[in-house]
Amino acid sequence: MKSERSRLLVLIAAVALVAAWQIPAFAYLKLGTKVGTRTVTLKWSQLPIRYFITDRGVSGVTSTQLQQAVQAAFATWDGVTTATVSSQFAGFTLANPTSGDGATVIGFQNRPDLDRTLGATSFMIDTVTGAIVESDIFFNSSFAWSVSAQGETGFFDLQSIALHEIGHLHGLAHSAMGETELRAGGRRVIAAEAVMFPVAFASGTILGRTLRADDIAGIGDIYPSASYTRETGSISGKVTKSGKGVLGAHVVAFDTRTQTLVGGFSLSDDGSFVIAGLSPGPHVLRVEPLDDGDVESFFDPTLNIDINFRPQFYEKVVVVPQGGGTSGVELKVVAK
Amino acid sequence: MRRLILIVILLVCAHEVRATVLLPAEFREIVAGSQVIVYGRVAAVRAEWSDDRTRIDTIVTVTAGSYLKGGPGGTVTFRVPGGQIGRYRNVVVGAPQFQAGEEAVLFLSASGGPSIAHVFGLSQGVFRVKVDAQRGTRLVVPPVLMAQGDGEVPQPVTRGDTTRRQLSLDQFAATVRQAMSSGRAQ
């Protein structure tokens, strides 16, 4: 009876997954930096994060509107109850959003040499201590921007891009939780289940203003609140191919009750992975290679990321305990 | 147990990774938008302040092995954002990083910026060349994403697609030439 129920659960989950996986998946990752021979997570030791706004607008967006859009984006991250991040607008400045002044500055900058780059976040890091000295965000004024509440055809939504970049500023790297298509003119996002997906939505949409489960799990992982520790759980295990660990495999956990997706990567040579910040309850796991994009957008280029394997579902449903973890999962994949 | 898991996360999840918001190009656009396409080995990497001293850039010098577009010259020099001067490292999330001795096929552009070339699309114009330890051949990373036909019909990109594989250096060069021979990449 028990095994029948288990099989049924698997079937239900698999059916749900087939539907959900049309909007595929990946997971959050954290920014790190090398300190000596160690690699440590990039995170702010002092909160709130105090930021300045460059007092310079662009066509269609004043500096005041820029400040409001950035403040709204910060507020979205600050509003995550499972994280402790907070921010504070420190005022307008004439400084550019570049490094070297010790202040965190956000603003427009004309960088035609950074073609196809809507915005970027930079850090000045003390390599002795690993501390963040400052972090800046620039929005490339080579593009057309909008702060319209409904979005504006032909213009990129400033608040959406700010939300993504502020995720980096907090220490989140990219999520691969998205699906793209190829066409003349480049790759285009079909769907994204994470603000931290690196490919921008097409201009004219404001879909990027809302955090998803993957983003929320990620920010809670870096800045856990008491409720994060108390209310969420984790899954850990290994991804193996012919008995050896797979580095850089993407493991996605699908919550069959909430229909949300959160994931992680195998981040060591033995294929170990941990997906934290999960809602308690049954999850279905899937592993797939990061073979559809710019691996460097996710990993240090010196790592030998394995992208030569076929996607694979885990044969069992994994139940995540509240405030705890389920370990020992082994996802076995085969080469293409 | 929970504490142990969190410690493990901190230890394993903090790889040095990079990111930003990009508008990815189709491969033929990367080819068309690059004035120089060169396969070579990184000979030198040097960080310096920009002319206005507002940011750190890294000047990368590559010893050219072969040109697939543009050239000639024994070396090629280009600029990437970020770098380290003294104890302080400026990391521009999304910008490629290089070390001496690395091999790569580089798609370089000089349009829209300073006189020195830059990598097309921040990191989109970097294809690393790695030696396959088992076969001893050079493989290019990442796989090429090139639309079939003229690209007018959208084609979903599916992860784990068994037809998408890492190319050998020769196969990659042939793919670049194929892209150049098509209309958009002239």
By three-state DSSP, how is residue A158 classified? helix
CB contact under 8 A, B158 and A188: no
Cβ contacts below 8 Å, chain A against chain B, sum to: 290
CB contact under 8 A, B142 and A100: no
Which CA distances in Å does B120 have to A166, B30, B31, B79? 25, 7, 9, 11
Task: List phi, psi (to 5°) of A127.
Answer: -75, -10
Contacts of A297 in chain B (CB under 8 A): 18-19, 22, 94, 123
Which CA distances in Å does B33 have to B95, B124, B125? 18, 11, 10
Q: Which of residues 90-129 of B touch A (CB under 8 A)?
A: 90-97, 99, 102, 109, 111-114, 118, 120-124, 126, 128
Contacts of A161 in chain B (CB under 8 A): 21
Contacts of A100 in chain B (CB under 8 A): 53-56
Of the partner residues A182, A234, A297, the one whose CB lies closest to the CB of residue B157: A182
pLDDT at A246 over 60: yes
pLDDT at A306 over 70: yes
CB contact under 8 A, B154 and A182: yes
Distance of CA B116 to the CA centre of its chain: 17
Q: What is the pLDDT of residue B37?
A: 97
Name the pLDDT band for A28 (thresholds 50, 70, 90): low
Contact A261, A252 (CB under 8 A): yes
DSSP 8-state class, residue B26: P
Residue of A nearest to B90 (CA): A124
Closest by CA to A139, choosing from A168, A164, A110, is: A110
Residue of B nearest to A123 (CA): B91
CB contact under 8 A, A179 and B2: no
Task: List phi, psi (to 5°) of B79.
Answer: -115, 135
Tell me the average pLDDT across A139-143.
94
Tell me the average pLDDT across A303-322.
94
Tell me the average pLDDT across A184-203.
86
By three-state DSSP, how is residue A250 classified? strand
Least confident of A57-66, A103-112, A249-258, B47-56: B47-56
- Give one DSSP letter per residue of A255-284, joined into a string: ETTTTEEEEEEB-STT-EEEEEEEPSEEEE
Contacts of A296 in chain B (CB under 8 A): 18, 96, 123, 126, 128, 142
pLDDT at A9 over 50: no
Angle at B5 between CA B2 and CA B10, to 5 degrees: 130
Tell me the average pLDDT across A79-90.
97
Closest by CA to A54, choosing from A39, A45, A65, A41, is: A65
Tokens 């989140």 correspond to A172
Our CA dihedral for B160, B166, B172, B174, rounded to 10 degrees, sits at: -70
Positive or negative torsion for Cα A248, B123, B170, B181: positive
- Give one DSSP letter per residue of B141-163, joined into a string: ES-----STTS-S-EE--TT-TT
Contacts of B166 in chain A (CB under 8 A): 307-308
Least confident of A23-32, A35-44, A299-308, B23-32: A23-32
Distance CA B109, CA B120 (A): 6
Of residues B4 and A163, more confidence is placed in A163
Positive or negative torsion for Cα B146, B37, B165, A199: negative
For residue B168, count CB atoms less than 10 angstroms from its CB and return exposed for 0-12, middle for 13-18, buried for 19 or more. middle
Radius of gyration (C-alpha) of chain A in whole angstroms: 20
Which CA distances in Å does A78 have to A93, A319, B91, B103? 23, 29, 24, 42
Residue of A nearest to B118 (CA): A113
Q: What is the pLDDT of residues B116-151, one digit of tens each?
A: 899 998 889 999 999 887 788 999 988 888 887 777
CB contact under 8 A, B26 and A187: yes
Residue of B nearest to A202 (CA): B23
pLDDT at A281 over 50: yes
DSSP 8-state class, residue A148: -
Tell me the average pLDDT across A88-94.
97
Buried b / exposed e along A219-249 (16+ C-beta atoms within 10 A): bbbbbbbeebeebbbbbbbbbbbeeebbbbb
pLDDT at A172 over 80: yes
Instruction: Quote the minimal CA–CA distance from A89 to chain B in Å.
Output: 22
Could you report the predicted ipTM of this complex, rounded to two decimals?
Answer: 0.82
Contacts of A336 in chain B (CB under 8 A): 160, 162, 165
Q: What is the pLDDT of residue B110?
A: 83
Contacts of A125 in chain B (CB under 8 A): 88-91
Of residues B13 and A313, more confidence is placed in A313
Distance CA A158, CA A206 (A): 9
Distance CA A39, CA A22 (A): 35
Structure tokens that stand for B158 in this block: 């599916």
Domains contained in chain A, CATH given:
7-219 (3.40.390.10), 232-333 (2.60.40.10)
Name the pLDDT band for B112 (thresholds 50, 70, 90): low
Structure tokens that stand for A88 in this block: 């504070």
Of the partner residues A196, A200, A236, the one whose CB lies closest to the CB of residue B5: A236
Name the pLDDT band for A23 (thresholds 50, 70, 90): very low
Q: What is the pLDDT of residue A232?
A: 96
Structure tokens that stand for B135 in this block: 């076969």
By three-state DSSP, how is residue A172 classified? strand
Q: Cβ–Cβ contacts within 10 Å for residue A257, how many?
A: 12
pLDDT at A8 over 50: no
Structure tokens that stand for A161 in this block: 């891009």
